[in-house]
């Protein structure tokens, strides 16, 4: 195992222990109860675009601020993830000790799928493992992949599609990929380790390939309600001959943000 894999395993074990303490296997994981059991207070408020969450240490006491932008609650997947992320800063020894000794964690936290800051990355991974504990999630990942299955996992664990898909990549029985597109430009892509093709057919502009569900939305305003079959060689650049090979694409549209998320998988 690489050092990075060790670290992930360590965070995963810690999160699993906390989420399922005393044989608790009820889902979705109750983040507020975990805070309360550990003497951490919290509040939700509208902090506009300043931060998603913040863990504060003052007078020997920890408090979590969650930005609900005035409209979300503790059942909203994004809010749950922010809460779990802040709990990560409390439960990860190095983070808590730093706060207790008066150091900053480069806070407040902002959520993004591709984290570069190692402290934020650890807290994100912890959050994902707390909300989707390995000891429960692995069994739920068994069987064939479908969008329906992913959607069921999201509901069962109270997690967003990107967070659930990326956790599924660790334990799912089928390799999948996700591609996020904003205004026609690819924002990020994530692949299961064993996903066969990892180069998307795009150039320096990062424009999403046109003859895909996501491309069709940005180019022609076409919305596909269901999972579609797309030519694999529209999505991927590879030396393999993909003529006639189809890939499943399920595109999730977030029209208000001008954004799509494509989930891709082979049979
Ligand atoms: Zn953070």
Q: What are the tens digits of pLDDT across the range 161-173? A: 999 999 999 999 9
The sign of the torsion formed by the CA atoms of 94, 96, 97, 101 equals positive
10-14, 112-116, 171-175, range with the lowest pLDDT: 112-116
Residue 103 has a pLDDT of 81
**How far apart are the CA of 186 and the centre of ligand 1, in A?**
25
pLDDT in tens, 13-68: 999 999 998 788 899 999 999 999 999 999 999 998 888 999 999 999 999 999 99
- Our CA dihedral for 8, 10, 11, 16, rounded to 10 degrees, sits at 120
**How far apart are the CA of 86 and the centre of ligand 1, in A?**
6
Given a contact cutoff of 8 angstroms between Cβ atoms, the answer to whether 160 and 154 are in contact is yes
Tokens for 27, please give them.
């889902």
| Banded pLDDT at 9 (limits 50, 70, 90) | very high
Taking 90 as the threshold, does the pLDDT of residue 227 lie above it? yes
Burial class (CB in 10 A: 0-12, 13-18, 19+), 159: buried
Average pLDDT on 89-102 reads 93
**How far apart are the CA of 117 and the centre of ligand 1, in A?**
9
The DSSP 8-state label assigned to residue 22 in this structure reads G
Residue 74 has a pLDDT of 94
Residue 60 has a pLDDT of 92
Residue 117 has a pLDDT of 83
Contact partners, residue 83, CB within 8 Å, separation at least 6 = 31, 32, 35, 42, 53, 64, 66, 74
Contact partners, residue 233, CB within 8 Å, separation at least 6 = 201, 242, 243, 245
Average pLDDT on 244-266 reads 96
**How far apart are the CA of 254 and the centre of ligand 1, in A?**
25
Q: What is the DSSP string of 32-58?
A: HHHHHHTT-EEEEE--TTS-SEEEEEE
- Angle between the N-to-C axes of helices 147-157 and 161-171, in degrees from 0 to 180, rounded to the nearest 10: 110
Residue 106 has a pLDDT of 59
**How far apart are the CA of 110 and the centre of ligand 1, in A?**
7
In the structure, ligand 1 is a single-atom ion and the residues with CB under 5 Å from it are: 109, 120, 123
Taking 90 as the threshold, does the pLDDT of residue 183 lie above it? yes
17 three-state secondary structure: helix
Residue 144 has a pLDDT of 95
């Amino acid at each position: 195992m690489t050092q990075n894999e060790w670290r992930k395993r360590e965070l995963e074990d810690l999160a699993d222990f906390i989420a399922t303490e005393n044989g608790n296997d009820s889902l979705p994981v109750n983040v507020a109860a975990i805070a309360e059991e550990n003497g951490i207070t919290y509040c939700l408020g509208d902090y506009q675009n300043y931060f998603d969450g913040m863990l504060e240490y003052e007078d020997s006491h920890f408090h979590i601020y969650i930005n609900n932008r005035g409209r979300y609650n503790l059942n909203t997947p994004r809010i749950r993830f922010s809460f779990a992320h802040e709990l990560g800063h409390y439960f990860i020894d190095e983070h808590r000790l730093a706060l207790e000794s008066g150091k900053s964690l480069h806070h407040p936290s902002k959520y993004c799928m591709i984290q570069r800051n190692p402290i934020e990355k650890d807290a994100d991974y912890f959050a994902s493992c707390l909300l989707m504990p390995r000891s429960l999630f692995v069994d739920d990942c068994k069987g064939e992949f479908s969008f329906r299955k992913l959607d069921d996992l999201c509901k069962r664990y109270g997690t967003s599609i990107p967070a659930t898909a990326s956790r599924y990549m660790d334990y799912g029985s089928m390799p999948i990929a996700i591609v996020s597109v904003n205004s026609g430009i690819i924002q990020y892509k994530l692949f299961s380790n064993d996903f066969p093709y990892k180069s998307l057919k795009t150039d320096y502009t990062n424009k999403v390939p046109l003859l895909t569900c996501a491309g069709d939305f940005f180019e022609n305003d076409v919305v596909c309600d269901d999972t579609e079959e797309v030519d694999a060689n529209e999505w991927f650049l590879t030396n393999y001959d993909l003529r006639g090979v189809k890939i499943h694409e399920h595109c999730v549209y977030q029209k208000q943000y001008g954004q799509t998320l494509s989930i891709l998988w082979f049979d």
